[in-house]
Homo-oligomer: A and B are copies of this chain.
Amino acid sequence: MNVLIIGSNGQIGQHVVRKIQDSNEHNAIAMVRKKEQMAQFEEQGAKTVLVDLEGSIDDIAGAAKSADAVVFTAGSGGHTGADKTMMIDLDGAIKSMEAAKQAGVKRFVIVSAIGVHHRDKWMSNAPYYSAAKYYADVWLEKSGLDYTIIRPGGLVNDPGTGKVKVAVDLERGQIPREDVASAIVASLDDVHTIGKAFDMIGGETPIEEALKTL
């Protein structure tokens, strides 16, 4: 499977590209915003495309045209304002969905955030962030795409354990970004995750096995 990763240079995205390149089944197409971000992925043998997520749907669709699946793991990050949250986490995500449809790609995996499907769990210090993730998720659910919505939290940079807990609703915990990346890649192979949206934290169950309990 050729997999376009939108947000390749992000903290989860870098793990996703590497895990895909390490797999025998998939090939990564790393979408990056800046030219200087390309080399690291090319060194891994990944195809790399230079496309600005704040650009046109056509540009993103162009990047998706040789893909069999799209992974959306871009985020505006902690150092930007709510304007970028709107344009990346919400509008960028929705443009990516529209681009996938335009390019004829059915499979779409998105990284959301734990609990955003419940307003009373929205981040009190940044409800706009939860709102952006929530509305992107709802759009995806109604998009007609073969979606998987992974809602991890809270993200940490510890090495992955390969073990998680998944369910529609979970109390906030901790999960290594590397395990989120593993769950994304495992989802690509697991048709059982199509049409599913779930919270994910660190746990005791091997990722592939956990996904089958959904």
Contact = CB atoms under 8 A, between A and B. Distances in A.
A150 B24 CA distance: 53
A82 interface: yes
Number of copies of chain A assembled together:
2
B90 A135 contact: yes
The residue in A81, A83, A94, A119 that gathers the most chain B C-beta atoms within 10 A of its C-beta is: A83
Interface string A128-156: 10011001000000100000000000000
Interface residues of A, number: 19
B135 A83 contact: no
A127 interface: yes
Interface string A54-88: 00110000000000000000000000011101110
Contact of A90 (B83, B131, B142): B131
A131 B86 contact: yes
The residue in A85, A86, A119, A128 that gathers the most chain B C-beta atoms within 10 A of its C-beta is: A86
Contact of A82 (B56, B57, B85, B142): B85
Contact of A127 (B57, B81, B87, B135): B87
A91 interface: yes
Nearest to A120: B56
Given A81-B83, A82-B82, A82-B128, 7 more contacts: A82-B85, A82-B86, A83-B127, A87-B131, A91-B135, A94-B135, A135-B135
